[in-house]
A and B are shown apart, each in its own frame.
Chain A
Amino acid sequence: MTDTLKLSYYCPGDDFDRAGEASAKVKKALQRLGVPPDVVRRVAIGTYEAELNVIIHAGGGTVTAEVSGESTLITVSDEGKGIPDIQAALQEGFSTAPEYARQMGFGAGMGLPNMMKCSDEFNIESTVGKGTVITMRFCHRSEDL
């Protein structure tokens, strides 16, 4: 595979029931493309964490996957409220998740640390009042969590 395949999904922020649909599609696509199973699993987990975050914290956003022979690049962006203190948000246990999300089993402040753990390269940019962009690169050499 020499070309890069690009997939993009919009995740509406008002419907928590739909959180995970984009990640599930990305996962299916990578499986079809023959990406190693352990890498697919790491991409799926990282993308799902980011997708949950844009739905819970940012009122929706976009999930984009760019798949080449060597790696998968996931970009999850939103135009939500942004993160005032990124270093604090990256710490395990930091969460501003609303009560409804906690009742659904989320809001432990583990998502961003997990994205860093799952991906080979992780970057976050956020501006208060403008939004947040997360990029994660996953190399296609097989390596489990």
Chain B
Amino acid sequence: MKLRQVQQLLGARVLCGERWLDTKEVATCFGSNMMSKVLARGKRQTILCTGLTNVQVIRTANMTELCAVVFVEDKLPKASVTEEAESWGLPLLATPLPLEDVCRLLDEAGLPSCDKGRAP
């Protein structure tokens, strides 16, 4: 599905990367607050859903070439983090929903976890 559908499904605010939402394709999601796991098991065409907002989150997403980051519970990164993500073409979204709800909604919409069968 397109990133735009994810944004609508989660009622998410677009922090940056609005212009890529209609073109970027998403295949799986990865819900985690452990960047170590994302680095080891993240896949392309995956959105990272997380409650962390530090700059290492978006660097992790950039290195593993994830397609977007969704911050849960309306947690917002610093402006410098958003600017850096924008410079790499990495869209950032923020939703009021908690992580479990986000992962469930996405799974029901046909976007499974790319980390299935693993402990969270």
Contact = CB atoms under 8 A, between A and B. Distances in A.
Interface of A: 16-17, 19-20, 23-24, 27, 41, 44-45, 48-49, 52, 104-111, 113-114, 117
Contacts of A52: 56
A114 B57 contact: no
B36 A17 contact: no
Contacts, number: 68
Given A44-B64, A105-B56, A106-B35, 4 more contacts: A16-B56, A48-B39, A104-B35, A109-B36
Contacts of A44: 62-65
A17 to B, nearest CB: 6
Interface in B25-51: 32-40, 44, 50
Which bracket fits the contact residues of B?
Answer: 20 to 34
B52 A105 contact: yes
Interface string B63-91: 11100000000000000000000000000
| From B33, B39, B57, B59, residue with most partner A Cβ within 10 Å | B39
